[in-house]
Amino acid sequence: DTAVSQTPKYLVTQMGNDKSIKCEQNLGHDTMYWYKQDSKKFLKIMFSYNNKELIINETVPNRFSPKSPDKAHLNLHINSLELGDSAVYFCASSPNSGSPPRSYEQYFGPGTRLTVT
């Protein structure tokens, strides 16, 4: 019973290409997130959607565009890929309803390792 799933798990592509990563959660959560983890394991939030509405948009290049067709899905599309985009991208979800702190607890997907050559 996968809670937060991401596809693909590995993605190797060349500079300049456009690629998408998909994320789905079956937890009934209201909020979903995209994080980028670099080679030093630093984790930085990129975007967050609550019920299909963008609520967090950190300083991320315009080449990155999230799309949330429904509250169970949050996809990440990346245009004109660059070497510096190589990282592990994590999707996460949280209830954001009910009582904190459990309502803020985030459940993470297994990650997508993106390698740009």
Partner 1 sequence: GEDVEQSLFLSVREGDSSVINCTYTDSSSTYLYWYKQEPGAGLQLLTYIFSNMDMKQDQRLTVLLNKKDKHLSLRIADTQTGDSAIYFCAETFFGNEKLTFGTGTRLTIIP
Spell out, one character per residue from 34 to 73, where the chain touches partner 1: x when CB under 8 A holds, - when not: -------xxx-x--x-x----xx-----------------
Nearest to 38 by CA among 83, 91, 78, 88: 88
**Does the protein bind partner 1 through residue 101 (CB under 8 A)?**
yes
**Does the protein bind partner 1 through residue 115 (CB under 8 A)?**
no
Nearest to 72 by CA among 30, 36, 40, 39: 30
List of residues contacting partner 1 (CB under 8 A) = 4, 31, 41-43, 45, 48, 50, 55-56, 90, 92, 94, 96, 100-102, 104-111
